[in-house]
Each structure stands twice: as C-alpha cells, then as structure tokens.
Amino acid sequence: MRVRGVVAYDGTEYSGFQRQTNALTVQEALEAALARITQETVTVLAAGRTDAGVHAVGQVVAFDTAWRHGLDDLWRALNAVLPADIVFLQIEEAAPDFHPRYDARSRRYRYTVHNAPVRDPLTRRYSLHVAASLDVAAMQRAARLLVGTYDFAAFGRAPKPDGTTVRRVLAAEWGRDAPQLHFVIEANAFLYRMVRSIVGTLLQVGRGGMAVEEFSAVLASRDRDRAGPTVPPHGLCLVEVKY
C-alpha cells in the first residue's frame, strides 16, 4: 500500500531533504527508519526538497510498503527509532498513485526574523537576527507586489536548466510577534532559493536601502544581480502543503 505522512524536522544537522551520497539528509534518515521497522528497501517521496539547514513542520511524504500491521503501530514504531530531530506527525493510507510533489496545489513557507538589538540564544537555530530597526510597513507593501503570476528569475533559478521561472504566488505578507517577524509566502511552486532571496531583498527595503518601487523593478527585471543578498537557511520552515 502507499502511505502518506506529514513530517516535521529540525534541519540544522542535515544537508537538505534529498538523499546524497556524501552527506546526511532527512530522506536518508526516514528511509533508514523504514528499513529497520519494515525490513524493506523503501524509497520516500516528498513534496519539497528543502535545502540544507531548512526546517519543516508540514513536509508531506509518501512511500510504498507491504506492512501487514496497523498504521498506528507503524507510526509509533517509526517515531521510536527516528532521530530526535525528525518525527512523523501523522500517517495514513493514500491512493496508489498519490505523489506528494506532483499532486500538490501549493506550498507555504515561513521565514522568521528576530528583530531586536540583542540576539536571542533560544531562537538562534530558527530565526535570523537583525539588529537594525526595520520599516515593516514598507516591507509589507513590497511583499504584496509578489502576489500573482510572474517570472521570478530575479529571485531564483529553476530546478532544471531548461525549466520555467514563472510561478504563481497566492499570498505573501509579514506578521509581527515582537520581537519576531514572520514572512509567510504561499505559491504553486518555488524556484531554488527563491524565498531566501525574496526575504533578503525585502530586508533591504526594511533597512531603507531599497524603495518599494525599486523592489517592483527588481521583480520585473528578471536579473538576479539586482536582488538583495540571500538570507541564511536556518530561518526558513516549510509550514504546509495543500492538495
């Protein structure tokens, strides 16, 4: 049967989700746990190939197994052997042809900024510390310009060399839970490092180094050299995948 699961993980110690030959990844850890419990060689499919250091609370995966016991037993067994920084939040039986990536309608990411004069040791693994005062209203105005179907080549590259850089953004906004700022963006799909590049450019707006109108021009330019610096991965989290 095909099983669908929702996975959360702290990506700090992993070189992204996708399996690699010379680095530890989330996919490798999941497949090792499944092999230990089911005694099968299992390939895990995922909705998003998060980069090294990126976290998730809503990653959706799927795998095939001949497991003959209840799914509750499988769920408990997997969580018992998985590393402490990875957990299955839930699992359920899925349609045989379900694919977490290709069937997804949209994905939602959150980037967290700790905006305070002094860094916070307790949030340092999950947020970017920015000491400077930020014009959040200007950042919000710029973020709203992202909503719609556009060519986002200025903020990232397609997974394949000949792939399109056009994406449809459904929502993009900043929220404040002082001293934390959360940038939430939902789109049908994302380019490589797209969210981190957008956040870096929006922070330029917030610091006063780029006007909202200039941000709009960067988007229209399709020129990656005009975007702001790409922010580090540790503030980024895959929140939800919608179907």
Token pair of 62 as six digits: 């799927």
Equal CATH topology for 2-94 and 106-242: yes
Domain boundaries along the sequence of the chain: 2-94, 106-242
SS3 26: helix
For the chain, 243 residues long, give each residue's pLDDT as a single digit of tens: 999 999 999 999 999 999 998 999 999 999 999 999 999 999 999 999 999 999 999 999 999 999 999 999 999 999 999 999 999 999 999 999 999 999 999 999 999 999 999 999 999 999 999 999 999 999 999 999 999 999 999 999 998 888 999 999 999 999 999 999 999 999 999 999 999 999 999 999 999 999 999 999 999 999 999 999 999 999 999 999 999
pTM: 0.95
In this structure, which CATH number among 1.10.3720.10, 3.30.70.660, 1.25.40.10, 3.40.50.620 belongs to the domain 106-242? 3.30.70.660
Of 51, 73, 120, 223, which one is the catalytic site residue? 51
Exposure string (b/e) for 51-89, b if CB count within 10 Å is 16 or more? Answer: bbbbbbbbbbbbbeeebeeebeebbebbeeebbeebebe
DSSP state of 157: B
The fold for domain 2-94 equals: Alpha-Beta Plaits (3.30.70)
> Is position 51 annotated as part of the catalytic site?
yes
